[in-house]
């Protein structure tokens, strides 16, 4: 089983946002920092999850345990429902990607266990800011 930690961050609400994805695969690790554009924090969390799913599918990782410190995302995926209709299209996109997995788990973890993904998401915001300065 492959463990994927993901986090979305936003510098403002909305503001420049980034996704951090940290993959543990049989003793090896992969790190990704992806700028996401202007989003609020909850949107960034969903987009980070979608990016992590797409990355795993692209790499052929089909048995994956996802970890997030976003209670909104973990609960929405578990219940296949989100109260705020603004996030419904993002949830539906994520659930369609989940169906491509052979084995899928999503677990909520405290922020202290998701530090690497958090750092990667913040690095993506910095990366985005530097591009805009050019």
Domain ranges of the chain: 2-109
With b for 16 or more beta-carbon neighbours within 10 A and e for fewer, the 80-114 pattern comes to eebeeeebeebbebbeebbeebeebebebeeeeeb
CATH of the domain spanning 2-109, picked from 3.30.1490.20, 1.20.120.610, 1.20.200.10, 3.30.420.10: 3.30.420.10
Q: Kindly report, residue by residue over 40-91, the tens digit of the pLDDT.
A: 999 999 999 999 999 999 999 999 999 999 999 999 999 999 999 999 999 9
Task: Please give the mean pLDDT across all residues of the chain.
Answer: 95
Environment class of residue 132 by beta-carbon count within 10 Å: exposed (0-12), middle (13-18) or buried (19+)? exposed
Dihedral sign for Cα 123, 127, 128, 130, please.
positive
């Amino acid at each position: 089983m492959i463990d994927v930690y993901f986090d979305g961050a936003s510098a403002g609400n909305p503001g420049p946002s980034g996704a951090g994805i940290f993959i543990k695969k049989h003793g090896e690790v992969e790190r990704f920092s992806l700028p996401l554009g202007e989003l609020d924090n909850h949107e960034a969390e969903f987009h980070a999850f979608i990016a992590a799913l797409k990355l795993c599918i692209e790499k052929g990782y089909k048995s994956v345990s996802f970890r997030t410190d976003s209670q909104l995302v973990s609960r929405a995926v578990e219940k296949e429902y989100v109260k705020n209709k603004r996030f419904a299209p993002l949830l539906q996109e994520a659930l369609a990607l989940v169906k491509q997995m052979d084995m899928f788990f999503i677990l909520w973890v405290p922020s202290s266990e998701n530090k690497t993904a958090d750092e990667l998401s913040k690095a993506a915001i910095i990366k985005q800011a530097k591009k805009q300065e050019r």
